[in-house]
Amino acid sequence: MSSESANNPTPLVQRRPPHSAPLRSSPDRAALTSLLSNETLSRLERLRLRPRRRQTNRTQGEHLSGKGGSSIEFSDFRDYVPGDDVRHLDWNIFARLNRPYIKLFQHEEEMHVLVLLDGSASMLFGDKLAAAQRLAAAFGVMSLFGVERLSIHVCGEKEGPLRTLPPCRGRVNLTRMLRFLESVEGGGTQRIDEAIEDVLKTHRGRGIAVVLSDFLTAGDLRRPFNRLYSAGLELMAIQILAPEEIDPDIAGDWRFVDAETQQTLDISSAAELLGLYHEHRQALERFLESECRKRNGRFLSIASDEPVESVVFDKLQRQGWIR
Amino acid sequence: MNTPAFAAPWYAWLLLLLVPLVVFYFLKLRRTRKLIPSLILWQQVLNDRRVNAPFQKFKRNLLLLLQILLLLFCILAAMQPYIEADGERAEFIPVVVDVSASMAAVEQPGGPTRLELVQQRLRAIIDNLLPTQRLALIAVSNTARRLTEFTDNKRVLRAAVDGLRVDEVPSRLEEGLRLAQAMARVRRVRRVLLYSDGNVPERIDFALPFEVTYEQVPPAKTNIGITSLSARRTSLTEWTLFVRVASAVGDSASGRLQLWRDGEKTAEDSSVLDAGEGERILFPLTADAATRVEIRLVPEGHDALSADNRAFLDLPAPRPLNVYCPPALTTARHALAAVEGIRLFPNDRDTPPLSYDLLISDDPADGERPASVRLFVGFETLPPAARNLLRIATEPDEFVDWRRTHPLLQHIRFYQVQLADSIGYTDGKQAADMEQAGFSVLAEGRHGPLILARDSGDALTFWFTFHTDRSTLPYRVGFPLLISNAVDIALKRANLSESVALTTGTLPPLLLDPDTEYTVVGPDGHKLTVRSDANGTVPSVPAPRVGYYEYRTGTTVAKRVGAALLDARETSLNVVDALQFRETRVEQATDNPAVQDRNLWSSLAAVALILLLIEWWYFQRPPAVHNPAA
């Protein structure tokens, strides 16, 4: 074994810094962020997340709760029953019909959008982290412009186990959110399943949990997925894989080194194993999709070199993730 | 060709080394490190049961395959595989090598002799000897010698092969086979290897108890040599030399014959012969004293054998024949008086010699007189061994049958010879008993033998069981012929009438000083000690080389005898394609019978070495770094 190669392991593809991600900004306007172009931002402003179930917080927001409420939007009338707040009596109808009716209004509550970004070392390969950053920014923009409560957690950062953007709402936090995502470096070793558990220890609020990861973890994802479901969070899982992971071009004998754990694995006749590799990768996708569907969630697997516009405005919109 | 077998199959246990080889290979495989995002998927791939199938691991692992092949070839070489020429393996194999004179023949000047070709093959056999095989080397010419016991010691066998020398004598293969048969009594011998040039008798008087693999080396073709040399006295000092030269059956030859007398060339003649042809050449010679004559043949062109180009003869000094006949036997003395060149005893002029050349007597007391040829008449002169078988009959007798070809009875007719004495066999005895007692019956009467003969080596004795004076034989014309024949026999025994060159093989018994130890020194310096008996008879000694053999007592040369001629068959280089034994016929081996079992370990070791070099090159070459971005 060559000592040189042991000390300087050669990655499949050198990580491209997030700041060097391709921008689709207009040349005549200064870009607001390096993650998304201004045109993309402007298109995202008009999109809203579309959860399958109405899971909202009790705090007032823009999502209709369906429970009735006290907003200015009229919903219906019903008979008065003893105990009702007499302040909600429609005195005009009572005057005309001499019978008491309670006036009902639509109740609008806010939805908590939890974005969990996997920044572990495995995400540094093949621009996976950059793709995850762009997608997280897109979800953040849609949440903030939708007056949702947004919190972003980055796991696997070098400095610590978890890095968090506290819950915020409103477009005023747009710049803050973008700067937070731009500052993500990744390279840590925290696993995604552990990170979900850690996040849920402090998270409060129902809504949507967007998990951006390659899901290449040794842990069992069913338990954190159950915890998300129990916490009232609808799971939106997006698996981001590098093209080299989707279709590796490799042959011969190799000693693979895990980027996170530094564990090694000797592979002989790798070309002979590619068929099995594809089977296992597709089996992993099917497993994740199945587990998400079981919890009323959704799953999508994308390649890291796929443009964010293609993912958001094509796949996500067509599959009904957003509207 | 049979399937390979293994001489050391227990080395198959080394195949267990394959397990650590494979284990260490995968533990220490020289791999290129590659950083990947996660081992999860690859770990699952390896955990897949199909991947763990052993053959999957070996696919495209050329280095491992080379190592396995290298180990397999090394183990196979250690197991010592061999290919048997037949189904059975010969464990104890006598190897009979013909070392007769024709094995010294060369195909071309400076080329290898037939024996050297055999030696080359034998060395190859010894090199390929299997651990379970034992060879015994037997050299056979006119006698057989066991050079080694059954052994697998290659050094001993090679030394024995290197020590093989040609004996200039004819071959008698049955002697070697009999020796092999004797060795087969203590060892289980299934097959005997026989190496010869095929210059052997057409029929070998031997019943084969085992299989013989006969390998014939290619015989030489061109040869010319002297096959016989003799001299006949024409008068007291005149001799005629008869020289016969012959060529080999394979090709014509020519040469010049030179007569050398006492170291000087005195005559020369030439001879041109077709293939297989012979010619007799005469040289007249005058000698009034003992003379040493040598014939040298100078071949013109290639000559395969050089040992048959020389022959020599010792001509005795002329002297009268000393004959003793008692005066009472007047009929015989009268007949002897008419013969020229004899000195008849007793007489008043000459001193009696110590030994007579011919003795004719009817006195039993003369049996003690030393003589080369003795002729006794009368029943009383018979030795007890013969007399015990005979009796005196009363009826008259006559000759019924006699051996007309015997030198004593040549040109004689015994018809109507009347005998006063009548001799018959005692009861129950017959001619076979007489033969068993050591007597040859030369003439038979009605009731018993009339003439007996016995050759004891130093003396030839004839007995007439009847007394000639009491018969009509002295009055017949055959009587002087009978005496003349006896004189001729005596002349020949004394080498006074003719002298014949001796062939190699065995020297005849000699009459020298009694009870004396002689050292016989051969032409190659080989020494042999013999002792004469009370009569002075020195037994026969082997003469395997052409040349003079000296009988020495201390530093004194008592006698010098030359063995000059090879057997005519050796000179002819006539070969037989198959050996005809008493009951079977053995063809020459068509393929290399050698020990028949061909060792393969050396070939396997060579393949293993090549594999080792390939593996070394494969291991040292720069590893192919996979660049997925390319």
Q: What is the pLDDT of residues B186-199, one digit of tens each?
A: 888 888 888 988 88
- Structural domain boundaries of chain A? 3-55+110-318, 68-106
Residues B164 and B31 grouped into a single domain: no
Q: Is residue B436 part of a domain?
A: yes
Residues B410 and B442 grouped into a single domain: yes
- Give the closest residue to B283 by CA, choosing from B317, B332, B233, B239: B239
Q: What is the pLDDT of residues B452-504, one digit of tens each?
A: 999 987 789 999 999 999 899 999 999 999 999 999 999 888 878 888 888 88
Residues B274 and B340 grouped into a single domain: no
The region that residue B17 occupies, defined by phi over 0 for left and psi between -120 and 50 for alpha, beta otherwise, is alpha
- Number of Cβ within 10 Å of residue A46's Cβ equals 10
Question: Contacts of residue A259 in chain B, CB cutoff 8 Å?
Answer: 35-38
Residues B71 and B117 grouped into a single domain: no
> Residue B34 burial by CB count (10 A; 0-12/13-18/19+): exposed, middle or buried?
buried
What CATH number does the domain containing B287 carry? 2.60.40.10
Measured CA to CA, the distance from residue B622 to residue B619 in angstroms comes to 8
Q: Is residue B240 part of a domain?
A: yes
Q: What is the pLDDT of residues B432-450, one digit of tens each?
A: 899 999 999 999 998 899 9
Cβ atoms A219, A197 nearer than 8 A: no
Cβ atoms A131, B46 nearer than 8 A: no
Question: Contacts of residue B39 in chain A, CB cutoff 8 Å?
Answer: 256, 258, 261, 263, 265
Q: What is the pLDDT of residues A48-58, one digit of tens each?
A: 888 877 666 65
Q: Which of residues 259-318 of A touch B (CB under 8 A)?
A: 259-261, 263-269, 271-273, 276-277, 280-281, 284
Residues B156 and B251 grouped into a single domain: no
Residues B215 and B229 grouped into a single domain: no
Report the amino acid identity of residue B405: T
- Alpha-helical regions (H) of B246-369: 330-337
Tell me what pLDDT residue B630 has: 32
Measured CA to CA, the distance from residue B358 to residue B378 in angstroms comes to 17
Report the amino acid identity of residue A147: V
Residues B378 and B468 grouped into a single domain: yes
**Cβ-nearest to B32 among A5, A216, A276:** A5
- Give the closest residue to B561 by CA, choosing from B539, B579, B543, B580: B543
Q: What is the pLDDT of residues A222-245, one digit of tens each?
A: 999 999 999 999 999 999 999 988
B61 touches chain A (CB under 8 A): yes
Phi, psi dihedrals of residue B191, rounded to the nearest 5°: -145, 145
Q: Residue written as tokens 């692992």?
A: B61
Residues B229 and B114 grouped into a single domain: no
Q: Is residue B407 part of a domain?
A: yes
B40 touches chain A (CB under 8 A): yes
pLDDT reading at B529 higher than 70:
yes
Helix orientation angle between A192-202 and A222-230, rounded to the nearest 10 degrees: 20
**Cβ-nearest to A12 among B30, B56, B628:** B628
Contacts of B105 (CB under 8 A, 6+ apart): B113, B114, B197, B219, B220, B223, B304, B305, B573
Residues B116 and B50 grouped into a single domain: no
pLDDT reading at A191 higher than 80:
yes
Q: Is residue B627 part of a domain?
A: no
Helix and strand numbers (H, E) in chain B are 13, 38
CA distances from B188 to B134, B146, B157, B209, B210 (A): 11, 17, 20, 11, 10
Per the structure, the complete domain to which residue B282 belongs is given by 224-316+568-572
Cβ atoms B13, B136 nearer than 8 A: no
Q: Is residue B211 part of a domain?
A: yes
- Alpha-helical regions (H) of B340-410: 384-387
B36 touches chain A (CB under 8 A): yes
A169 — pLDDT class (breaks 50, 70, 90)? confident
Partner-chain contact B626 A276, CB within 8 Å: no
Measured CA to CA, the distance from residue A46 to residue B376 in angstroms comes to 162
Tell me what pLDDT residue B591 has: 57
Helix and strand numbers (H, E) in chain A are 11, 12
- Give the closest residue to B559 by CA, choosing from B606, B529, B519, B503: B519
Q: Is residue B608 part of a domain?
A: yes
Residues B536 and B486 grouped into a single domain: no
Q: What is the pLDDT of residues B216-227, one digit of tens each?
A: 888 888 888 898
Residues B25 and B172 grouped into a single domain: no
Domain count, chain B: 5
CB under 8 Å, gap of 24 or more: what pairs does B360-367 form?
A: B360/B323, B360/B324, B360/B325, B360/B329, B360/B332, B360/B336, B360/B483, B360/B486, B361/B324, B361/B325, B361/B326, B361/B329, B362/B326, B362/B328, B362/B329, B362/B467, B362/B469, B363/B326, B363/B328, B366/B324, B366/B326
Helix (H) or strand (E) holding B400: strand B399-402
The residue of chain A nearest to residue B29, with distances taken between CA atoms, is A1
Measured CA to CA, the distance from residue A217 to residue A201 in angstroms comes to 20
The region that residue A212 occupies, defined by phi over 0 for left and psi between -120 and 50 for alpha, beta otherwise, is beta
Tell me what pLDDT residue A300 has: 94
Q: Which fold has domain A3-55+110-318?
A: Rossmann fold (3.40.50)
Partner-chain contact B42 A123, CB within 8 Å: no
Contacts of A101 (CB under 8 A, 6+ apart): A77, A78, A79, A80, A89, A90, A93, A94
